[in-house]
Amino acid sequence: MVSLTLATSGPGRNLLGIRVVAGGLEIRFLGIPGRQYAVQTTSNLLGGEWTTQTTLRAGASGQILFVDTSGEPGRFYRTVQP
């Protein structure tokens, strides 16, 4: 099961959506075209440490596509500028 909560303000506003695809989850973020972003995950929002999974560059439309093939349940995602 995939649960998606979109923030209406503050951190997390750049999450466009999550969908299940063959082999994992496809997560789309929105950034500034051409800028690099680190995609980070954690399983614990209360004091958990964030782990950088990869660094991606936003495309011409500003979209950042990350496919999580880890299969780990209960993950939270964010993007930060490295």
In this predicted structure, what is the pLDDT of residue 10? 53
Task: Provide the pLDDT for residue 34.
Answer: 96
Distance CA 52, CA 32 (A): 19
Is it the case that residue 54 has pLDDT exceeding 90? yes
Q: What does the pLDDT read at residue 50? A: 93
Taking 70 as the threshold, does the pLDDT of residue 9 lie above it?
A: no
3-class secondary-structure state, position 52: strand
Q: Is the pLDDT of residue 66 over 90?
A: yes
pTM: 0.80
For residues 75 and 28, what is the distance between their CA atoms, to the nearest angstrom? 15
Domain coordinates in residue numbering, the chain: 30-80
